[in-house]
Structure 1
């Protein structure tokens, strides 16, 4: 069985996808104790370490065939806002260098990196890719809407397929039928409140009004933001991108509620039996940062077919 390690493992989207693709995940790391705790709960057979990976001793990490990595994307994402001079911004971008450090020591056959599309616009991306090339890796960037891989969510992400080969390995990612949001939303569950209640923002009421006109009594809408926030979204489509904060609201007649943590995990394609914190905010934070397991699985399956 092929083996893998998971850097910046979070809740375990990469690890779950890898396991479902027949990969044995040997080791996983994250700097956040909560993430390590819950990754461990879902992947008890893997070795876990809670550490800043800039300080990792790679000699203590088991040899592996595939390195999975999802470096912090906040420094690259357009959703983050204009704070390019902050220390947090610089630190979040620099996590990508841990991938180079680990690859230099272990030289696995494949390194799979997931991030936002803007990662390749990072000022140091040319230097990062040159460093990987110096280690013998050819890089094939794949920009993928995870909905096209069967995830019930429109989530455009960059997958860098880095292989120790003579030419970049471009994967054949077969487009799947889109899975609608109705597949995971339970309108009979959750805590609902009246749409028309004191303190409800006028912009929210306008979104509800526009959504009703277009979709009827039941639909999804962003609670804030632009784009589809002006009219809502049909339940017959995948939901929009799940973020680390509550964003999506459900409307049922004259009532509404926010998407539940379990629904958010389902939108990310995590299995129903995924162990998670009872705390809603923690779960949403980890879900919004995760690699959708089904997307990871499809990428790895395509890699195995091409090998």
Structure 2
């Protein structure tokens, strides 16, 4: 059986996808105890380490065939900006060096690094790429909308495929039919409130009005920010990107509510039996940071087929 390790494992999107692809995840690590707790609950057969991977003892990590990693993306994402001299962003960007250190010690046949597409705009990306290549790896960047892999969510991400091959390995990824948000939305559940109520922001009311004009009585809309403009989204399309905060609201006639944690996990393609915290905010935070398991599964399957 193909064996893998999962760096910055978080809520376990990579590990769940790998398991579905028939890959055994031997070892997983994250610096956040809460994430390790829930990853352990969902993957009890995996060895777990809770530590800053800058201090990892890679020689103690089991040998593996595929390294999977999702370094922190906040320092690269457009939403967070790229102001120089921001220590938090500098620290998050530097997590990308941990997979390089692991590759140096173990030299597995392949690795897949997931991040936002802006990762390649990082000022140190050329140095990162040079380090990877110095270790004998070819790098093949894949920019993928996870909706095209069957995830019911538009989520554009970079999957950097690293292989010890003569040329970069471009995967033959499937082009799945888009799965609509209606596949996981439950209009009979959740905590609804009247749209017309004291204190409701005018911007929200404007979004509702515009959404009704375009989509009718039932639709999804961004509750905050400028996502999807001011008209919302059709529930017969994939939902927009799930983030770490409550972002999406459901409108049904004269009532509305925020997306539930279970719906957010379903939008990310986590199995229905995934164990999660009772705390809504905590679940949303971990869900928003995760690799969609189905996307991870499809990428790994394509890698195994090409290998």
* TMscore range, shorter length: over 0.9
Indicate if the aligned counterparts of 2:75 and 2:82 stay in contact, CA closer than 8 A.
no
Corresponding residue pairs, total? 307
**Residue segments in structure 1 that go unaligned for 5+ positions in a row:** none
Show the counterpart of 1:302. 302
Show the counterpart of 1:273. 273
Indicate if the aligned counterparts of 1:171 and 1:303 stay in contact, CA closer than 8 A.
yes
Q: State the secondary structure of the residue aligned to 2:90.
A: helix
For normalisation by structure 1, the TM-score amounts to: 0.99
Indicate if the aligned counterparts of 1:269 and 1:292 stay in contact, CA closer than 8 A.
yes
Show the counterpart of 1:260. 260
Name the CA distance, whole Å, in 2 between partners of 1:59 and 1:37.
24
**Residue segments in structure 2 that go unaligned for 5+ positions in a row:** none
Structure 2 matches for 1:47-62, cutoff 5 A? Answer: 47-62=47-62
Show the counterpart of 2:244. 244
Deviation at 1:224, TM superposition (A): 1.5
Deviation at 1:83, TM superposition (A): 4.1
Name the CA distance, whole Å, in 1 between partners of 2:100 and 2:82.
27
Show the counterpart of 1:177. 177
Show the counterpart of 2:113. 113
- Is 1:146 the counterpart of 2:172? The answer is no
Deviations 1:214-264 (A, max 9, x none): 111100000012242400100000000000000000001100000000000
Indicate if the aligned counterparts of 1:223 and 1:229 stay in contact, CA closer than 8 A.
no
- Is 1:46 the counterpart of 2:46? The answer is yes
Show the counterpart of 1:198. 198
Name the CA distance, whole Å, in 2 between partners of 1:19 and 1:63.
17
Q: State the secondary structure of the residue aligned to 1:228.
A: coil
Show the counterpart of 1:4. 4
Show the counterpart of 2:167. 167
Name the CA distance, whole Å, in 2 between partners of 1:154 and 1:286.
18
- CA RMSD for the aligned pairs? 0.7
